[in-house]
A and B are shown apart, each in its own frame.
Chain A
């Protein structure tokens, strides 16, 4: 049996290639906060209190546009609704852990930590809940440190990196590297294709609602494809 320490190291190791993608994103979040005239405490502190890039960017943008506080809060939370889906997906893997540990795992949840965690847990059914938590924490803590450093750097430097470098392109590329190897059957492929298509078609919707609609359509498409085309289990009568 591997020592406990090894799980943390393994978690850090698989997260490493994804960290560069978070740097430009975090720097943009910091630079935008500086431009919106946040103080250093609020500009960098929101990375600790909220710790969610897309929501931070959107809420900072709205505050800069002098939107009412309630709208700012609701927008941030709608963007983060996807975390409830991730939470439902991860919950069975973290069952039995202490409340404190589960709270920590929840706080550190990001798109990246979720994707790495769920991919590994699906591939390795032998893992215990404790090993799963250690693997997840290794990568998630590394991401937290990088995110905080990147926002602080962005806040200090402002937007001095020229836009022509297109560093924001690292963000979709990182997610692409997470997505593609996880598509192992037709149903998952259909879910991805549907999600991407609907997201583009609905990108004009306010408050990131397009993302939500796209996720719902993608999940429905995958589910429908699977229940329709895979051999059915014996039915227990009509529901």
Chain B
């Protein structure tokens, strides 16, 4: 891809991405969302974040997903989820998750 096309591509993605981010925030006040929609929006964080987390946690360096139950990443994720639930602490979650992964990788 030549430099001009590269920049045009980057700028097109940039403008489109801003339009997506600005869409409803830009319209606010002029567009009342119907009640079922606002009720459904409450589930956006849970549904989207979990859909990002699990495949990313199971992704193998070579590509593809490892769904075996002895996958160190899966075990580390479950431990980290437990810590997140019990402590609500981001730092503790990161420390336990990363520590568990490194320990399991060293052991296995």
List chain A positions with a Cβ less than 8 A from chain B: 17-18, 20-21, 38-39, 42, 45-46, 49-52, 55, 59, 63, 66, 69, 72-73, 76-77, 80-92, 94-96, 99, 102-103, 105-107, 109, 111, 114-115, 118-119, 163-164, 166, 168-183, 187-189, 191-200, 203, 210-211, 214-223, 226-227
Selected A-B contacts with CB under 8 Å, 26 pairs = A17-B91, A20-B94, A38-B6, A39-B3, A59-B10, A63-B9, A83-B17, A87-B23, A91-B24, A92-B28, A92-B38, A95-B29, A102-B28, A169-B98, A172-B54, A173-B77, A175-B52, A178-B49, A179-B45, A180-B81, A181-B88, A195-B46, A196-B53, A218-B46, A222-B43, A223-B39
CB distance from A151 to the nearest CB of B (A): 13
Verify A76–B90 contact, CB threshold 8 A.
no
- In Å, the complex CA distance between A154 and B50 comes to 27
Interface residues on B, range: 35 or more
Q: Which of B83-107 contact A (CB under 8 A)?
A: 84-85, 88-91, 93-94, 97-98, 101-102, 105
List chain B positions with a Cβ less than 8 A from chain A: 1, 3, 5-14, 16-18, 20-29, 31, 33, 36-58, 61, 65, 67, 73, 76-77, 80-81, 84-85, 88-91, 93-94, 97-98, 101-102, 105
CB distance from B5 to the nearest CB of A (A): 6
CB distance from A9 to the nearest CB of B (A): 17
Neighbour of B47 across the interface among A99, A118, A218, CB < 8 A: A218
Verify A17–B56 contact, CB threshold 8 A.
no
A sample of 6 more A-B contacts (CB under 8 A), given A69-B1, A200-B54, A223-B36, is A21-B94, A89-B45, A107-B21, A182-B46, A214-B51, A219-B40
CB distance from A33 to the nearest CB of B (A): 10
Verify B51–A215 contact, CB threshold 8 A.
yes
A182 nearest CB neighbor, chain B only: B45
Verify A87–B51 contact, CB threshold 8 A.
no
Verify A170–B38 contact, CB threshold 8 A.
no
Main secondary structure, interface of A, reads helix
In the bound complex, residues from chain A placing their C-beta under 8 Å from that of B67 are 200
In the bound complex, residues from chain A placing their C-beta under 8 Å from that of B81 are 176, 180
In the bound complex, residues from chain B placing their C-beta under 8 Å from that of A77 are 13, 16-17, 20
Given contacts A169-B76, A178-B49, A223-B43, contact A55 B94 (CB under 8 A): no
Verify B26–A102 contact, CB threshold 8 A.
yes
- In Å, the complex CA distance between A42 and B5 comes to 11
Given contacts A192-B49, A200-B67, contact A170 B26 (CB under 8 A): no
